[in-house]
């Protein structure tokens, strides 16, 4: 093995050992391998994005909350668009988009671990004075990117809520092990 190859291997091992990971990656699979995902709009764009992210992390989504270790309940997704700047012609020259999601994390028994969590993403874009179609297209692309970022934020908050619940002893540390009640009994 050449010195160069050895140095590259050492650098890769060091970056992995220090906990470095790609931006946007969430390691939920170390906390659980099953999750129940629910929302008033189960087939909305945010739910599709969350499902894609979870399946990429090898998290099995269940149909029933009792089959999963945790439930992520997305209560609302709000989209807000407002004028951010007005040009000299008194027309909107820039808009600000905000995507916001409100959600809860529940354990297998339906007991809240974390409630009223909120994630939001805000971006601005310039309105195209030449073509309304190009502005609309830019808004669609921007909203798609924002929804991806919002899903990543939600999963990071889910991970933090699970970690906090485990640290406080509200749920067990072992993925998909039965929880122990305060009197020492176990529940499936």
What is the share, in percent, of the chain residues with pLDDT greater than 70?
A: 81
Helix, strand, or coil (residue 98):
strand
Decide which of 25 and 130 is more confident.
Answer: 130
- Using one digit for the tens of pLDDT, what is the confidence trace for 37-78? 999 999 999 999 999 999 998 999 999 999 999 999 999 999
Going by their DSSP bridges, the two strands 60-62 and 34-38 should be labelled as parallel
Give me the chain's average pLDDT, please.
85
Query: Tokens at residue 55, please?
Result: 């399946």
DSSP one-letter code for 59: P
User: What architecture does CATH give domain 23-176?
Assistant: 2-Layer Sandwich (3.30)
- Using one digit for the tens of pLDDT, what is the confidence trace for 160-185? 999 999 998 888 765 544 444 444 45
Pick from 76, 52, 56, 72: which is nearest to 144 by CA? 52
- What pLDDT is stored for residue 146 in this prediction? 98
Residues 179, 171 contacting (CB under 8 angstroms): yes
How do the domains of the chain map onto residue ranges? 23-176
Pick from 185, 127, 170, 159: which is nearest to 53 by CA? 159
Residue with tokens 């798609």: 144
- What pLDDT is stored for residue 180 in this prediction? 45
């Amino acid at each position: 093995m050449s010195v160069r190859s050895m140095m590259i291997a050492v650098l890769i091992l060091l970056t992995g050992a220090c906990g470095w990971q790609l931006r946007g990656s969430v390691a939920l699979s170390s906390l659980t391998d099953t999750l129940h995902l629910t929302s008033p709009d189960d087939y909305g764009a945010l739910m599709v994005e969350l499902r894609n992210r979870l399946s990429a992390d090898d998290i099995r989504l269940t149909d029933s909350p009792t089959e999963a270790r945790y439930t992520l309940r997305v209560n609302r997704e709000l989209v807000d668009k407002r004028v951010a700047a007005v040009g000299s012609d008194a027309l909107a020259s820039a808009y600000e988009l905000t995507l916001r999601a409100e959600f809860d994390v529940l354990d297998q028994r339906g007991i809240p671990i974390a409630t009223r969590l909120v994630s939001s993403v805000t971006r601005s874009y310039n309105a195209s004075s030449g073509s309304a179609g190009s502005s609309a297209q830019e808004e669609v692309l921007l909203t798609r990117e924002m929804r991806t970022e919002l899903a990543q934020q939600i999963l990071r908050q889910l991970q933090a809520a699970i970690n906090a619940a485990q640290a406080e002893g509200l749920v067990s540390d072992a993925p998909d092990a039965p929880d122990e009640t305060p009197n020492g009994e176990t529940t499936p």
